[in-house]
Amino acid sequence: MIAAQGFGRGSTGVLMIISDDFDVGSLRQSLAEDGIRFRVECFDDAANAIDHLKHRNFEIAGGLVILLDLDSALGGHEDLVAEIRKDRWLCRSVILVMSASGDRGRINAAYDQNVAGYIVKHATEEHNQNLVRLLRDYCAVVTLSGLPRR
């Protein structure tokens, strides 16, 4: 399951590309507990999520933060980051990646693709709450480039 969150006029969008239903459910619960209300859209795979963004008929005035799970069963995420970076409009997106792996080579490879952050995930409620606070605070503090209507 891939969940796209927060596509609201004038607000920052948060696109979560996570295939594990448990992870999606846990993050949704943490969002709700924190009082964050995002619209949720689900996609079959990462390509559909990116296609949706490329062919959208709405703007994301507040910019876009993409949370990408590198451990996703969907695979091919290095290609996905490269695809986003090549796109004329999506290249303005902030990409945060997460993985259970703390391998230095994998972390360096992610930063070589200009991701904004590498999050080593832990299967705890506290970790999800910290991640939600990070997204909330990041979107509240950082001024992002908007993505115009296509």
Domains of the chain: 13-141 (3.40.50.2300)
What's at 120, amino acid-wise?
Answer: V
The pLDDT value recorded for residue 114 is: 93
Cβ burial of 145 (10 Å; 0-12, 13-18, 19+) is middle
Report the candidate in 123, 8, 11, 27 with the shortest Cα–Cα distance to residue 67: 27
Distance between CA 3 and CA 85 in Å, rounded?
20
> Residues in the chain with pLDDT < 70?
1-11, 19, 36-44, 57-59, 72-77, 123, 148-150
Give tens-digit pLDDT for 114-132.
999 999 987 677 888 888 8
Rounded to two decimals, the pTM is 0.81
CA dist 94 and 97 (Å) reads 10
